[in-house]
Structure 1
Amino acid sequence: MIAPLRTLALTCAVAVALTACKKPEQQTPPPPEVGVIEAKADTLPLQRELVGRLSPYRSADVRARVPGVLLKRVYQEGQDVKQGQVLFLIDPAPLQAALNASQAELASAQATYANAKAAAARARSLAPKQFVSKSDLDAAEATERTAAAAVQQAQASLANAKINLGYAQVTSPIAGRAGKQQVTEGALVGQSDITLLTTVDQLDPLFVNFSMSSDELTQLRRAQAAGAVSLSGDGKSTVQVKLSDGTMYDQPGTLDYSSAVVDPSTGAVTLRAVLPNPQQILLPGAFVSFQAVLGERKNAFLVPLQALQRDTTGGFVMVVGKDGKVVRKNVVTEGQQGSNWLVSSGIEPGDQVIVAGVQKVKEGSPASAKPWTPTAANGPGAAPAGAAPAAGAAPAAGAPAAAGTAPADAAADPAAKPSDGAPAAEPTKQ
């Protein structure tokens, strides 16, 4: 009789102990609040961040075109010169002597021609009267024609001598900035080759030379052919150069050339833009970064940078659906514009794209959508005001516990015993 009573008492004690150790059931946490923007389709400029190199619009080599001794440089190095302005002087004495000789040869040829012409005229007048033979007439006319040709040859030699004498004054072929003198005074120039004296570069406008991937350019042209991308209002692509201090250059450039051949070593296509440089702030040879507007993308979306995520399958965004659950949508981007991505496909107008709190949600789970604005307190990647703290985050000191959550001291049952091997918590001293 005593054994059954002991068994019953032991069973009741175990039941009481289990009841004391059982923790109160926790309530289901509310869905996390996330900051969202509403996707709106628009026609947006198709921009690319590129790097190019500046080159002069025109560059001319100033060379000695006749042999002689360089006498003087008559321009200031590094200064602007006009087209036709004299830059160097070559000793003209030998060239003047050659000109005088050509003039003498012309005078001799003209005298010979005058005599031959008179003899031929006399023979032609006597031929009808049979005073001269046919052969004598033919010889006189042949001498006349030979003398006339000699006059023309002498005239050509005189013109060439005048041209060579003019080359003694070396002039600038274009207007621009004259460079450093390459040959000093007293040097013999143009003797065996055409000696380089200096260069003149036109600095306004300048060329911006750059390249693009052939695949990217092919996709752009395919999109233009399909009507998804169109040129800007004036029908031209523009570039906006960024200066070294981070400011934008106030003169936009215009794309004027695109190569029809792909460079086999790089797989890129060479392009060129014309950039005004009225104040000559920019100099040839410098590398510049610039923003190229290659057209306008129709039905495109701007999505903040922090909203886009990537994995092995590509880029995607998380969207809060109409049922309040999170949906993943794979997207295609067309480059970056400031603090946004230009998305060409993958989302639809009206989609609630999650910008802040992306790390708190997962696909298929519910979320509470709140409008997101890029303010200082609610910056990139931050949850909107009033959003719930992340899971596992402890409340701030002095702040009340969240609704439905018992304080740590109250959660423990006073009757509960510590687990085996764990020391009992000491009471807090007041």
Structure 2
Amino acid sequence: MLLTACEGQQRPPGAFPRPEVGVVALHPRSVAITTELPGRTAASLTAEVRPQVNGIVQARVFEEGSEVKKGDPLYQIDLASYRASYDSAVAAHQKAEAAVPSAEAKVERYQGLVKQNAVSKQDFDDARAALAQAKADVASAEANVETARINLAYTKITAPIGGRIDKSSLTPGALVTASQTTALATIRTLDPINVDVTESSTNLLNWRQAVSEGRIKFSGPDVNVKLKLENGAVYSHTGKLSVVESYVSETTGTFALRAQFPNPDRLLLPGMYVRAVIEQGVAESSFLVPQRAVTRNTKGEPTAMLVAPDGKVELRVLSVGRSVGNNWLVDGGIRSGDRVIVQGMQLVRPGQEVGAVEVTIDETTGEVRRRKQGPSQSRMQQSAGGDREPDSNPVVGN
């Protein structure tokens, strides 16, 4: 009597109510195809600071771990000897320049006298050679002045790039040599920052085949990349794929990709482990079937139970591609409007008449939630495994 009152209709004596299942109606839609690859962050620019002249470090004029700009002073080397060398080179240049006017005047005098045979041609040639020598001495002196000026400028070590500078490897009073192997400090540009990942050549071939067959529509050269951090959080900024290597490693069968991300808050540091989610394109008019609805038969084929228009259960073999979140991207076996069973599959069998109840699935967790609560839904919840609150606690799938 209670069952008849709940159903609101008369049933023959001894008849059992139809089992009710939760279904999701499937319709074609455009699906963004992505691939998730592990990788490491790397600075977009890295420069090791080394001295280019010998000397004693007088001062360190930067704060370790701070941000520096290109051209900012970092170290000061004792410049006394280099200042003296520069002054000496300037004096030698002035001396060389002073010899030029006298040599030019002598050539001009001999030029007129040689026509009158007042001086020999040999003396005239010697005068011209002396003038050329004097001009060469001036050019050499100018080069020495420039060399001395460069060495003097090298006593102030400046930042070759902008970025964050690490700790200093020495303190004031230390002796440094030109182009020494030990770097004084290292500067890394953190904004933007690079993410280096690797992908297999097999996946590359599969993707190109899907694009050529029209199953995936390529979005163009500007490929967006999202980032998942070590703690599972999603990075707030979107990056761009910048470099794809043109060769495949013979040992690993992979090739390298590089994406670049803005890093204004310096949240990303070089060496972090991350997972890059790369957009490969869009699969148009595709079906997404919840993973909880797909099982495999004895042949290993993916199958799903659907509710036919006549209300009976139908077992159908699917052609499954890749996973997209908590769903499978199905290439075949599904038509628009099909209702796939996602809850209560253990209670039914193919050919059995059932009652279908529309449910929704949380895309992030895969949990089943009912669209509305009624008497029939309450019975389905109890048959699926115990008494629960109808709206506060979602029913977790198998």
TM value normalised by structure 1: 0.75
Identify the range of structure 1 (263-272 vs 185-194) with the bigger mean alpha-carbon deviation. Answer: 185-194
3-state SS of paired residue (1:202): strand
Q: Is the 8 A contact 2:361 2:369 kept in 1?
A: no
Which residue does 1:68 correspond to in 2? 55
* 1:231 Cα deviation after fit: 3.8
Q: Against the structure 1 CA distance between its residues 69 and 315, is the aligned structure 2 distance closer, same or farther, given a 3 Å change threshold?
A: farther
Q: Is the 8 A contact 1:70 1:90 kept in 2?
A: yes
Aligned ranges for residues 213-292 of structure 1 at < 5 Å?
213-232=200-219, 236-292=222-278
Q: Against the structure 1 CA distance between its residues 194 and 131, is the aligned structure 2 distance closer, same or farther, given a 3 Å change threshold?
A: farther
* 1:133 Cα deviation after fit: 2.6
Q: Is the 8 A contact 2:20 2:357 kept in 1?
A: no
Which residue does 1:304 correspond to in 2? 290
* Rounded Cα–Cα distance in structure 2 between residues aligned with 1:269 and 1:117: 68
Is residue 2:312 matched to residue 1:329? Answer: no
Which residue does 1:37 correspond to in 2? 24
* 1:70 Cα deviation after fit: 1.2
Provide Cα deviations, 1:59-86, integer angstroms capped at 9, x if missing partner: 1111111111111111100011111110
Q: Is the 8 A contact 2:359 2:368 kept in 1?
A: no
Letter of the 1:276 partner, please give it. P
* Rounded Cα–Cα distance in structure 2 between residues aligned with 1:82 and 1:72: 19
Structure 1 or 2, whichever has the larger Rg, is 1
Is residue 2:336 matched to residue 1:349? Answer: yes
* 1:322 Cα deviation after fit: 5.1
3-state SS of paired residue (2:247): strand
Provide Cα deviations, 1:338-366, integer angstroms capped at 9, x if missing partner: x323334443323332322334455x544
Provide Cα deviations, 1:394-422, integer angstroms capped at 9, x if missing partner: x99xxxxxxxxxxxxxxxxxxxxxxxxxx
Q: Against the structure 1 CA distance between its residues 130 and 290, is the aligned structure 2 distance closer, same or farther, given a 3 Å change threshold?
A: same
Which residue does 2:169 correspond to in 1? 182
Q: Against the structure 1 CA distance between its residues 367 and 254, is the aligned structure 2 distance closer, same or farther, given a 3 Å change threshold?
A: farther
Provide Cα deviations, 1:361-407, integer angstroms capped at 9, x if missing partner: 55x5445361441479x95599965449889x9x99xxxxxxxxxxx
Is residue 2:157 matched to residue 1:207? Answer: no
Residue correspondences, number: 365
* Rounded Cα–Cα distance in structure 2 between residues aligned with 1:125 and 1:194: 62
Aligned ranges for residues 382-397 of structure 1 at < 5 Å?
386-387=379-380
Letter of the 2:277 partner, please give it. Q
Which residue does 1:173 correspond to in 2? 160
Letter of the 1:306 partner, please give it. R
Over aligned residue pairs, what C-alpha RMSD do you find?
Answer: 3.2
2:111 to 124, 127, 140: 124
Q: Is the 8 A contact 2:39 2:274 kept in 1?
A: yes
* Rounded Cα–Cα distance in structure 2 between residues aligned with 1:265 and 1:90: 48
Is residue 2:145 matched to residue 1:147? Answer: no
3-state SS of paired residue (1:285): coil
Aligned identity (percent) is: 34
* 1:181 Cα deviation after fit: 0.1
3-state SS of paired residue (1:262): coil
* Rounded Cα–Cα distance in structure 2 between residues aligned with 1:293 and 1:242: 14
* Rounded Cα–Cα distance in structure 2 between residues aligned with 1:179 and 1:77: 6
Q: Is the 8 A contact 1:319 1:329 kept in 2?
A: no
Letter of the 2:167 partner, please give it. K
Unaligned runs of 5+ in 1: 1-26, 397-430
